[in-house]
Amino acid sequence: MSIIYDKEHRTFTLHTMNTTYQMKVDSLGFLLHLYYGRKTDGCMDYLLTYTDRGFSGNPYDAGTDRACSMDALPQEYSCRLSGDFRSPAFDLINGDGSFGCDLRYRNHQIIPGKYGLAGLPAVYAAEDEASTLDILLEDAVSGVQVHLLYGVLPAYNIITRSVKAVNTGTGTVCLEKVQSACLDFVTGDYDLITFYGRHAMERNVQRIPLRHGTHVIGSRRGTSSHQYNPMMILAAKDTTEDAGPCYAMSFVYSGGFKGETGQDQYNQTRIQIGLQDEWFSYPLSPGEEFTAPETVMTYSAEGLGELSRNLHRCYRTHLCRGKYRDSVRPILVNSWEAAYFDFTGEDIYRLAEHAAELGIEMLVMDDGWFAKRDDDNSGLGDWQVNEEKLGQPLKTLIERINGLGLKFGIWVEPEMVNENSDLYRSHPDWAMQIPGRKPVRSRNQLLLDFSRKEVVDAVFEQICNILDSENIEYIKWDMNRSMADVYSALAKEQGKVHYGYVLGLYDFLERIVQRYPDILIEGCSGGGGRFDAGMLYYTPQIWCSDNTDAVDRVRIQYGTSFGYPISAVGSHVSAVPNHQTGRITSLNTRGVPAMSGTFGYELNLGALTAAEKEEIKEQIREYHKYAGLIQKGDYYRLTNPFESEVGAWAFIAPDKSEALLNAVMLEIHGNMTVTYVKLKGLKNGKLYRDEKTGSVYPADALMEIGLPLPMKLGEYRAYQMHLIME
Ligand code: GLA
C-alpha cells in the first residue's frame, strides 16, 4: 500500500519506491508534518517537540498547555489565525472583514488512481500506478473546507499535491492566498537552488545557503516567466550531483507564481510554492469552490542528478500527452532566423527544397504569414493567410512542401492583438487595458482577455479555420509579452483575472489537443518565458530560448535540465555569427547542444556551402542514430558549465547498454591542462567500446578518473562519443 492511515497514531504515511512522507493529526485536530525523506517504516511523531516558548501563542482549546504552539510545530498546510506567524500557505478574508481561519482535520479518503484537476494540467497515471489521499480540513466558523490532495506514484518517487477550497458556509469569503504545497522541516541546514534569468538567457542556476528570513521567487507577469522558473530545490549543504539528500517542488502552472523559503526563529525551514498572491483576491460565495494548480514533489537521497531524473521520467511519460509523447519528433527547419518577416511563399518553398535535400523532415513557417505582418507592429489577432505576400494559396504551398516529403508547421500567437488589426478595431474591449488609462505596450502588442470565454471562442474559431482547411502537422504556440494591465471588462472581481486568464489559455489548448490529436504543438514565449510543467501537459516540447548561440545554450539547457526532460527542450542549429551574441562556432559545436533536445535548424539553408551541406547531412544521420537514446535515455550532468571549462553531459540507456557522451569546451588557454570528463551511470565492471574508433574503456575507470578530451587548438570545440557496452 502506498498510502497508509494508522488509526492509533492518527498518521498518514505515503510510500514511494525510495521515499516516505508522513503527517499526523494531533489531539486538537491540527495536521502536522512529520517526515519527508529516505524510505522508512514506523511512526515519526517522536520528532515533534513541545516547549513553552515566549511569544509563540497557544490554541485556545489547548487550555493551559503553553507548550502547544502552531508557531513552532511543523505544519502540513499552515493558515493565518492558527497562531503560526510564519508565512502562511492559506489565507482568506471573512465576511466580517477579519483575516484568516482555523483549519482542523475532519476526515479523509484514500482512493485508487491519481486525482485529476478540472481545467488544469496535472500528472496522470493508470489506476494501478498511483493512489490519491484526500484530507479534508475545515474552518468551523466560516464553513470553509480545504481538501489537501496527494497523488502518490510509487515507481516514479513522485508525490503530487493540490488544494481545493469549498465554501460550505453561508457568507462569501475572499481567498487571498492558496499555496499548492508547503513543507516544514524541523531540522536541517539547507541550500536553496533556483533558476533565474531574462529573455534570451533563461534558467541560470543560483545556489545559496538558506538563512533566517524569507527568500521569495516568483512571477507577477501572468506567465511563469523568463525571470524565475516555477521550481525550487532544497539541498543539504554537501549535496552534489551524485550524493546527498535534496527535495524538488515543481509547480504545474503557466501563470504567476510565488515560491517562498527560509528559516524561522527556531532554525526550522519552510518551503512553499503556489499561485502568486499579489493580484489575487478570489471571492468564494456559498457553494462555490476553488482549485489550486498542482505541485510535483520528489526527494532524492542520491543527489541532484537522481532528483532531475525522477522529474524527467514522470513528466515525459505522465504529464506530456498525445501521439508525440513517446515518438521521436520530426527534425524541423524554422523560418524565423532564416528570413524573419521577409519572405514570400517561394522563399519558404525554396527553404523546404534545401531542407528536403539535407534530410530535414518538417518546414515551419514562423511569424509573418498572416494579415498585415511585415514587422512586429501589426496584424496579431487577424489569423487570415496573407496570400498576397505568399504569392500563392497556403494550400498550394503546403501541398508543394508535402510533395517534397516534408511535413508543414506554422507559428501562431493566439493570446495577442495589435492595435493595428481588424480584431482590435472591432473589439477594443477584448484587449486587456484599464478604462481611462493607457496600457503598457510591449512589442507594440496587447494581451487579449482570455479570462473571457467569448474572446477565447472567437480566436479559437479563427485558428480552427486554418487548421481545418490545411494539412498542418505542427503549431508553434508563441506568447510575446508580460501581462501588465490586469483588467477584464466584464469581471466584477479583478482579483480573479490573472488566474482566469490562465484557465482560458488551458481551455483553448485543451480544445486544440482534443480536436487535433495528431498535431504536434511546441510551446514558446519569447523562447523560454513559459517553460513550465503546466505547458508540457499540452505541448510536449517548448522552444527553450530565443538564444540559439551554442555556448550559451550549453548553460541554458543545463539549467533547464534540472526540472524538465530533454524530450521537451526545443533546440536548433542556427547561423554564425550568431544572431543573439555574434559568436562564431563550428557547425559541429552548434550540433552537439542542439541534438540534446528536439533537434532542428533555424537558418537560411540556401546560404550554406557544399561542404556545410555535407556536414549537415552527416549530422542528421548521426541524430537519427541517437534520437531514441536522447529522448528516453537517463540524462546525467557531468560538469557544471557555469564553473567548469567544459560543458559535458551524457545519455545512458536504461539498461546501460549504450551511452552518448557530449562535451563542449568553453575555454581555451595556452599550454592547456588536460580536461578529463568523468562518465556516470555506466555499468560497473563492464567495458565500453567507442563506436567510431573501436577503443575500449573500462566503465569504472571512465567513471572514476574520466576520459581525456583531445588537446586541439581552437575555441569551443565539441565532442560526441557513442559508447557501446561490450
Ligand atoms: C518569439 C519567438 C521566436 C519567433 C518570434 C516571431 O520571439 O521566441 O522564436 O517565433 O517570436 O515573432
pLDDT (tens digit per residue) in 516-561? 999 999 999 999 999 999 999 999 999 999 999 999 999 999 999 9
Closest CA to 234 of 255, 256, 215, 258: 215
Q: How far is CA 300 from CA 4, 37, 236, in A?
A: 21, 8, 11
State the pLDDT confidence band at 491, using cuts at 50, 70 and 90: confident
Please work out whether the CB of residue 527 comes within 6 Å of at least one atom of ligand 1: yes
Q: Give the pLDDT mean for 626-641.
A: 98
What is the reported pLDDT for 76?
98
What is the reported pLDDT for 1?
82
Angle (nearest 5°) at CA 442 between 438 and 446: 65
Residue-averaged pLDDT of the chain: 98
Q: pLDDT by residue (tens digit) across 163-214?
A: 999 999 999 999 999 999 999 999 989 999 999 999 999 999 999 999 999 9
Closest CA to 91 of 281, 288, 258, 253: 281
Please work out whether the CB of residue 543 comes within 6 Å of at least one atom of ligand 1: yes
The number of C-alpha atoms within 13 Å of 1 and in the hemisphere containing its C-beta is 10
What is the reported pLDDT for 190?
98
Amino acid at 693: T
- Identify whether the C-beta of residue 682 lies closer than 8 Å to the C-beta of residue 702: yes
- Pairing mode, strands 598-602 and 569-574: parallel
Q: Give the pLDDT mean for 337-342.
A: 98
* pLDDT above 90 (res 725): yes
Q: How far is CA 367 from CA 343, 383, 475, 576, in A?
A: 10, 11, 11, 21
Please work out whether the CB of residue 411 comes within 6 Å of at least one atom of ligand 1: yes
Please work out whether the CB of residue 367 comes within 6 Å of at least one atom of ligand 1: yes
Q: How far is the CA of 466 from the centre of ligand 1 (A)?
A: 20
Percent residues over pLDDT 70 in the chain: 100
What is the reported pLDDT for 692?
97
What is the reported pLDDT for 492?
87
* pLDDT above 90 (res 680): yes
Strand partners, 270: 184, 262
Q: How far is the CA of 340 from the centre of ligand 1 (A)?
A: 9
Nearest atom within ligand 1 for CA of residue 525: 8
Cα–Cα distance, 14 to 12 (Å, whole number): 7
Cα–Cα distance, 508 to 223 (Å, whole number): 16
Closest CA to 170 of 100, 106, 96: 96
Please work out whether the CB of residue 478 comes within 6 Å of at least one atom of ligand 1: yes
Q: pLDDT by residue (tens digit) across 214-224?
A: 999 999 999 99
Cell of 313: 521520467
Q: How far is the CA of 526 from the centre of ligand 1 (A)?
A: 5
Nearest atom within ligand 1 for CA of residue 527: 8
* pLDDT above 90 (res 386): yes
Residue with the smallest CA separation from ligand 1 atom 11 is 526
- Identify whether the C-beta of residue 566 lies closer than 8 Å to the C-beta of residue 596: yes
Q: pLDDT by residue (tens digit) across 269-296?
A: 999 999 999 999 999 999 999 999 999 9
What is the reported pLDDT for 32?
98
- Identify whether the C-beta of residue 73 lies closer than 8 Å to the C-beta of residue 83: no
Q: Give the pLDDT mean for 476-480.
A: 98
Q: Give the pLDDT mean for 251-256.
A: 98
Q: pLDDT by residue (tens digit) across 357-380?
A: 999 999 999 999 999 999 999 999
- Identify whether the C-beta of residue 107 lies closer than 8 Å to the C-beta of residue 184: no
Q: How far is CA 373 from CA 341, 383, 426, 448, 486, in A?
A: 7, 11, 18, 18, 27
Q: pLDDT by residue (tens digit) across 451-460?
A: 999 999 999 9
Please work out whether the CB of residue 480 comes within 6 Å of at least one atom of ligand 1: yes
Strand partners, 33: 23
Please state the φ and ψ torsions of residue 645, each to the nearest 5 degrees: -80, 0
Burial environment of residue 179 by CB neighbours within 10 A (0 to 12, 13 to 18, 19 or more): buried
Q: How far is CA 528 from CA 178, 566, 641, 679, in A?
A: 26, 14, 19, 29
Closest CA to 552 of 228, 217, 194, 197: 197
Please work out whether the CB of residue 547 comes within 6 Å of at least one atom of ligand 1: no
Q: Supply the Cα-derived Rg of the chain in whole angstroms.
A: 27
Q: How far is the CA of 347 from the centre of ligand 1 (A)?
A: 19
Superfamily of domain 3-318: alpha-galactosidase from lactobacil brevis (2.70.98.60)
The domains of the chain are located at 3-318, 646-725
Please state which architecture CATH assigns to domain 646-725.
Answer: Sandwich (2.60)
Q: How far is the CA of 412 from the centre of ligand 1 (A)?
A: 10
* Model-wide pTM > 0.95: yes
Please state the φ and ψ torsions of residue 375, each to the nearest 5 degrees: -155, -170
Q: pLDDT by residue (tens digit) across 581-614?
A: 999 999 999 999 999 999 999 999 999 999 999 9
State the pLDDT confidence band at 337, using cuts at 50, 70 and 90: very high
Q: pLDDT by residue (tens digit) across 283-330?
A: 999 999 999 999 999 999 999 999 999 999 999 999 999 999 999 999
Cα–Cα distance, 414 to 708 (Å, whole number): 49
Report CA dihedral (441, 445, 449, 450) to the nearest 10 degrees: -130
Any idea which residues carry the catalytic annotation?
532, 612
Cα–Cα distance, 552 to 470 (Å, whole number): 37
